[in-house]
Amino acid sequence: MSITLFTPEHSAVLLIDHQIGTMSWARSAAFEDIKLRALSLARGAIALGMPLVLTSSLEDQAQGPMLDEFAEIAPEAYASRVQRKGAVNAMNEPGFADAVKATGRRNLIIAGVTNDVCTVFPALTALAQGYNVQVVADAGASITKDADTVALRRMERAGADITSTNQVLAELADDWASPGGQAVLPVMFDLIPA
């Protein structure tokens, strides 16, 4: 089996439904941990000049607004986020599917809340469409640990690589002495538990 590592030049980051309400429903990981990791992925994408696509669902309802910090970290991606009106599978929302296609990248790094609803279906759809997918498990969560485990197994069986925030950022950096590595290093240090 041939494994190709993801590079900034060939990859895009998709962050799905990192919203205040939705994140508060997740019980398989702590809210602050999910938040730190999702924001770190956004920071890493910006530092490496990668496309970053954000989407949310029903921000005016129980799901609530996206994390405000995205507006500071990635103002353009935040302003152009795809606000879905109800599509569970973000890839079924034409605006999101078009934004993903417009990146021109075939390698997708996906994180979402919840993994068992918001992440699993777009990941499966992207795989079916021929994209290479890495799902960043620790930048998302589910309502139960069992639900999280089942969703991650399903995505992995379908061909997604399951990864962590730390792992994917290190993969993208490739060399700490390079400009990209130097740009990502502060993000990595912020991920180290105090």
Question: Can you state the angle between helices 31-47 and 179-191, rounded to 10 degrees?
Answer: 170
What was the pLDDT predicted at 163? 98
H/E element, 147: helix 145-158
Cα distance between residue 142 and residue 138, in whole Å: 10
Q: Which residues of 124-144 are buried (b: 16+ CB within 10 A; e: fewer)?
A: bbbbeeebbbbbbbbbbbbbe
Strand ordering across the sheet containing 82-84: 82-84, 52-57, 11-16, 107-112, 132-136, 161-163
| Chain centroid to CA 57 | 15
Catalytic center residues: 118
What was the pLDDT predicted at 4? 81
What was the pLDDT predicted at 22? 95
Query: What is the CB neighbour count within 10 angstroms for residue 114?
Result: 25
Q: What is the pTM of this model?
A: 0.96
What was the pLDDT predicted at 2? 56
Q: What is the chain's pLDDT, residue by residue, as a tens digit (194 residues)?
A: 556 899 999 999 999 999 999 999 999 999 999 999 999 999 999 999 999 999 999 999 999 999 999 999 999 999 999 999 999 999 999 999 999 999 999 999 999 999 999 999 999 999 999 999 999 999 999 999 999 999 999 999 999 999 999 999 999 999 999 999 999 999 999 998 87
